Amino acid sequence: MNFNLKIWRQKSNKVPGSFQSLFVKDISEDMSFLEMLDKINEDLILKKEEPIAFDHDCREGICGTCSLMINGSAHGPQKAITSCQLYMREFQNGSEIYVEPFRAKAFPIIRDLIIDRSAFDRIQQAGGFISVNTGSAPPANTIPVPKEKANQAFSSALCIGCGACVASCKNSSASLFTAARIFHFSKLPQGQAEKTNRVLNMVKQMEKEGFGACSHTGACSVSCPKEISLETISEMHREWRKAFLNKTT
187-230 residue pLDDT tens: 988 899 899 999 999 999 999 999 999 999 999 999 999 999 99
Structural domains in the chain plus CATH codes: 3-110 (3.10.20.30), 118-248 (1.10.1060.10)
Alpha helices in the chain (DSSP H): 33-46, 118-127, 147-157, 164-168, 175-186, 195-208, 219-223, 231-248
Question: How far apart are alpha carbons 198 and 73 in whole angstroms?
Answer: 32
Of 56, 160, 157, 63, the C-alpha closest to 115 is 56
Predicted pLDDT of residue 134 = 66
Contact by Cβ (8 Å): 120, 163: yes
Q: Which of 54, 195, 210 minimizes the C-alpha distance to 118?
A: 210
**What DSSP designation does 97 have?**
E
**pLDDT, position 249:** 66
Would you state the pLDDT for residue 22? 97
Q: What's the CA gap between 133 and 197, in Å, rounded?
A: 19
The whole-angstrom distance between residue 46's C-alpha and the CA centroid of its chain comes to 33
Q: Which residues are bridge partners to 6 per DSSP?
A: 21, 98
- Report, as ranges of residue numbers, the positions in the chain whose pLDDT lies below 50: none
pLDDT in tens, 176-195: 999 999 999 989 888 998 99
* Rounded Cα–Cα distance for residues 85 and 33 (Å): 7
